[in-house]
Structure 1
């Protein structure tokens, strides 16, 4: 079997006005859909972020992959590295930590590796979780992912002026109402709030309101490095016994270590430990108790398995980070979580926030806050080619080419500055 063609298709899908420490989500989220085709007629699927600087590297890697054996992932990674050539492709929003050439290579390689694992599964009749070593669980539990949000995007960004069914959430009552709707719809049994938007005292009150409304749900708070070490200490003390973990309260590994030394709950991260080179210092300093893995950023499913082994060795907890994603990424996340025994925290997902997808027939359904692990070959999904074409046309039409939460926020609040820490 040889790769004969690779197609990279940028798509845009509608995204609500979700707030974070960098600003606010734009009306459209960007993804890139990867199709890897072989000489025996099979096609494997991958997905990643769709910013234009990353797209350029994805297209280079796509050309280099032609002729490769989809079972020889070491050769594929070597080809990808040669094509990327040491280029760095940082995110404008900065919500996933500092970038580097090595981390950019991991981001480029990941969707091709996922697509090749999908191909391997289709060729052998085995699900991806089996190719990763086996199934540790029958269902993968996910967490409700709450955001402070505006009622809608200002103006009329969508051609049909579609209403945002989630409404406004700018205070504790709004956050609790959002949580109730999300739990009712999907059955989530743990809850995470994206913070770093309002002064810490207000976000503490929102967490306390969630605790009163959901006394048995584990709670998490993620301010995306919006606080100083001193403020982080105060918030951790105020929420002692309330939070399951506190995620990225302050910037840098040394800063996190200083907070972790006094915090009564574990600190989690997807901003200070975002690559293998970050692990030695973090472990030595005791900076984090939970790493939020993300196969899009760590270099794929097998690299995420390596990360899991490191975390297991050093007694570090493991969860999974999420960004605005479509169904191909959801499928990959489910297979990875199924095959990772020590991923014991409920997984993050932006799934409830999207209203469009490129996957046909929605095979991954949330019931009781979890998704059943499939036994179908590969990722167990197929493209809806009509929707792929529509979302590509939406990409061409919408004008968004790189996610920049700060620039979008400044359209409406010119005085806004992205500052970490802010409080």
Structure 2
């Protein structure tokens, strides 16, 4: 489509609540807030993007004004209008500019697919798989599961109702014995074959993590995400356990240098968009570091992950998933729901998803009325962060 130009970049912040808040290191996690991005063109095509948080709203709006009149198919040219030289970005404390443009860049790829009539996975080289694996999530939840047996019973129900055999969750109440007991209950209930992964959001001190890992290693834990606060502590923890480790901190150099963690778990927008994620995953492959995406995205970013996982041979582990707990989405037919651990990559052009205008308006109104969902505070102490004991 010759001469296509960007005419507007629309932003709509929305809330995506969970059916029940879960506990994590910072307090209650009631859901998440996103920015839905629509890149409009003079040819009538609209590309969809998604920012993982609303803190970059002003930056996305400013970038959108800068991009008016630009060719959306020239992604490198669009980036040059919005993002400073990469060596500068990498050496400042504010990476929000990367996240802001990364969210827009997803929409540019959606447009590229709509212009060519091809699904994104074909633009990325074709599919090595069409069905993408995801874990079911478990946690201690307000109004839900609060004991080892209740968590185990919930996972059994997910297996019976949805064919789930892959599970990941947070056991974050600051009690090492409670976590150990819950892991034992899970393995006893699920049997020897189902996958169990854990995510601690850096809640443990190194001595506590060493103790916990010693106790849970016999129960075949596939991976443990951010059990401690630093790569250096993970490297020391590696000396005491063979359980594989992952992190949300996308620092390949330090992971290779220290020998831990084994996997990077992040979001496309955080890395600067789909183009940069392709290069990032390629670097992970060259260095032997695994990759998958974290949970909590709405349907637009999730569709991007489905296409990326379809096209990238190196992404083999299941992604995290909060789909079962999300009470709404902004796409038609959303949220995605896995069956027998799998979700098929969309086959439509670009991301292959369509905005649900009524849902978009509803969840935007939810944010306007309630404010962005705050998952950093203790509901028993408004205005204060939760303080876990240093076990």
C-alpha distance in 1 between matches for 2:254 and 2:16: 38
CA contact (8 A) 1:11 1:32 kept: yes
Query: Partners in 2 of 1:309 and 1:87 — Cα distance?
Result: 21
Residue 22, structure 1, aligned to residue 34, structure 2: no
Query: What CA distance in whole angstroms lies between the structure 1 residues aligned with 2:374 and 2:81?
Result: 28
Distance 1:183 1:58, change over 3 A: farther
Residue of structure 2 in register with 1:225 after alignment = 202
Q: Partner of 2:36 in structure 1? A: 33
Whether the aligned pair in 1 keeps the contact of 2:114 and 2:349 (CA below 8 Å) is yes
The count of corresponding residues between Structure 1 and Structure 2 is 382
What is the SS of the residue equivalent to 1:239? helix
Equivalent residue in structure 1 for 2:72, among 45, 70, 73: 70
How far does the alpha carbon of each residue in 1:252-281 deviate from its partner, in whole angstroms, 9 at most, with x for none? 1211111123222111111xx33xxx2212
How far is 1:178 from its partner?
2.2
1:289-304 mapped onto 2 (5 Å cutoff): 289-304=262-277
Residue 168 of structure 2 aligns to a residue whose secondary structure is strand
Residue 349 (structure 2) aligned to one of 377, 384, 399: 377
Q: Judging changes above 3 Å, is the alpha-carbon distance between structure 1 residues 50 and 282 closer, same or farther for their aligned structure 2 residues?
A: closer
CA distance 1:145–1:404, shift in 2 (3 Å): closer
Matches within 5 A, 1:192-271: 192-215=168-191, 216-241=193-218, 242-270=220-248
- Do 1:195 and 1:224's aligned partners in 2 also have CA atoms closer than 8 Å? no
In structure 2, distance between residues paired with 1:407 and 1:3: 43
Give the gaps of 5 or more residues in structure 2: none
| 2:386 aligned residue | 417
Q: Tell me: CA distance 1:35–1:185, structure 2 relative to 1, closer, same or farther (3 Å).
A: farther
Q: Deviations over 1:109-162 (max 9, x none)?
A: 1211111111000110111111122212120010011121110xxxxxxxxxxx
Residues 128 and 335 in structure 1, CA contact (< 8 A), matched pair in contact too: yes
> Tell me, what secondary structure is at the counterpart of 2:106?
helix
- Alpha-carbon distance in structure 1 between the residues aligned to 2:233 and 2:202: 10
**How far, CA to CA, are the matches of 1:418 and 1:40 in structure 2?**
53
8 Å Cα contact 1:11/1:50 also seen in 2: no
TM-score computed with the length of structure 1 as normaliser: 0.85
Q: How does 1:22-421 map to 2 (within 5 A)?
A: 22-26=26-30, 29-51=32-54, 53-81=55-83, 100-101=93-94, 103-151=95-143, 168-215=144-191, 216-241=193-218, 242-270=220-248, 273-274=249-250, 278-322=251-295, 324-362=296-334, 364-400=336-372, 403-406=374-377, 408-411=379-382, 417-418=386-387
Conserved 8 A contact 2:328-2:335:
no
Give 1:185 deviation, angstroms: 4.1
Cα distance change on mapping 1:306 and 1:87 into 2, 3 Å: closer
**Root mean square deviation of aligned Cα:** 2.3
Q: Distance in 1 between matches of 2:116 and 2:161?
A: 36
Task: Give, in whole Å, the separation in 2 of the partners of 1:21 and 1:362.
Answer: 28
**Once the two structures are superposed, what CA deviation does each residue of 1:180-236 show, in whole Å capped at 9, x if it has no partner?**
333344332211121332311111111111111112211111111111222211211
Shift in Å, 1:284: 0.7
Distance in 1 of aligned mates of 2:330 and 2:73: 25
Q: Offset at 1:363?
A: 8.8
Unmatched runs of 5 consecutive residues or more in structure 1: 89-98, 152-167
Question: Offset at 1:364?
Answer: 4.6
Instruction: Return the alpha-carbon distance in structure 2 between the equivalents of residues 393 and 380 of structure 1.
Output: 26
Instruction: Quote the Cα distance in structure 1 between the aligned partners of 2:233 and 2:335.
Output: 42
> TM-score, normalised on structure 2?
0.91
Question: 2: CA distance between counterparts of 1:169 and 1:127?
Answer: 39
Question: In 2, are the aligned partners of 1:197 and 1:223 still within 8 Å (CA)?
Answer: no
